[in-house]
A and B are shown apart, each in its own frame.
Chain A
Amino acid sequence: MSEEHAHIVPYKTFAIVWIALLFLTGTTIAVAQYDLGALNIWVALGIATLKSGLVVAIFMHMKYESILFKLALFATLAILATFIGLTLCDVLYR
């Protein structure tokens, strides 16, 4: 029954990630109060990407999954980036 799937993540790891997530949320709200022009959106997206990386890697156990899972995730993100990139190339440089 017990395959190698039983990787047990300690409570403490989750708690640290949660604190980091709350801290990053506070940071993104604080930064949004200043007008940095176009930089605002990139800071917000950068922090959101960092937060989602933490959620996927630790909360969703991706860090402990096999290479198959990681490749599939990478493929999905590559497809999404292609969609977004090509659409914006069309819209912004038409």
Chain B
Amino acid sequence: MSGHVHKDYTGAKFGMWLFLFTEVLLFGGLFILYAVYLARYPQEFISAGGELNVWFGGANTMVLLTSSLFVAISITALQRGSKTLCLRLLGGTVACAAIFMINKYFEWSAKISHGIYPGSEHLKELQPGEMVFFNIYYLTTGLHGLHVVIGALLLVWAMFLIKSDKVNADDFVILENAGLYWHLVDLIWIFVFPLYYLILH
């Protein structure tokens, strides 16, 4: 009979993992930048890092960890046939993404209102090491924030496919791959948080 669509489940997932590995190397490059400049400007990094608010960073860590939990459980829920629970959990994840970005908005606004943003006059007056710290901070958290937005959009897309049963208990690799991307977002934050918000206190 026709109508049989060949699905390479392992191939689809392995392809996603290969992409995630390139993402790890991309952010790895930013962490190398951080390490090199930390070695060069340890004192400036401590004084600049002290300006970051541990509570913003800590709250966002909890939000991302919880959102990762929701995604992980949503896959089990779909496998067990609880479509409604799966969709609710994914909705919760997208809500977490929104909370994260709103937090980030307030955090960045506070910094920017103090004249701390790439290319600002105030930044030029600071020590070179402090300027470097804030530039890598904006680059890393900005690129990470972009990933949060993309990850949330991927999950919304997966939600539509689940709603229309195109993604279901037998064929859910799209949800799994979107979930993997979301976990990567969490993974990167697990390193960003201590390096930028904690080590320098």
Contacts and interface: CB of A to CB of B under 8 A. Distances in A.
B146 interface: no
Interface residues of B, number: 49
A31 B83 CA distance: 42
A1 B25 contact: no
A88 B199 contact: no
Contact of B199 (A44, A59, A65, A80): A44
B80 A55 contact: no
Given A44-B195, A55-B187, A88-B35, A5 B66 contact: no
B73 interface: yes
Contacts of B54: 29, 32
A88 B36 contact: yes
Nearest to A59: B72
Interface string A1-35: 11101101111001101100110010011001100
A87 B199 contact: no
Contacts of A60: 179-180, 183
Interface stretch (B57-65, B107-115, B121-129, B131-139): B57-65
A45 B192 CA distance: 10
Given A32-B198, A80-B25, A91-B40, 15 more contacts: A1-B171, A2-B170, A11-B73, A11-B76, A14-B76, A17-B69, A21-B65, A22-B62, A22-B65, A28-B194, A41-B199, A45-B194, A55-B183, A59-B71, A79-B25
Most B-side CB within 10 Å, residue of A29, A66, A68: A29
B69 A15 contact: yes
Interface in B67-118: 68-69, 71-73, 75-76, 79-80
5 contacts: A18-B69, A29-B54, A32-B194, A44-B199, A76-B24
Interface stretch (B10-18, B150-158, B159-167): B10-18
B1 interface: no
3 A-B pairs with least C-beta separation: A44-B194, A32-B198, A76-B21
B151 to A, nearest CB: 13
Contacts of B170: 1-2
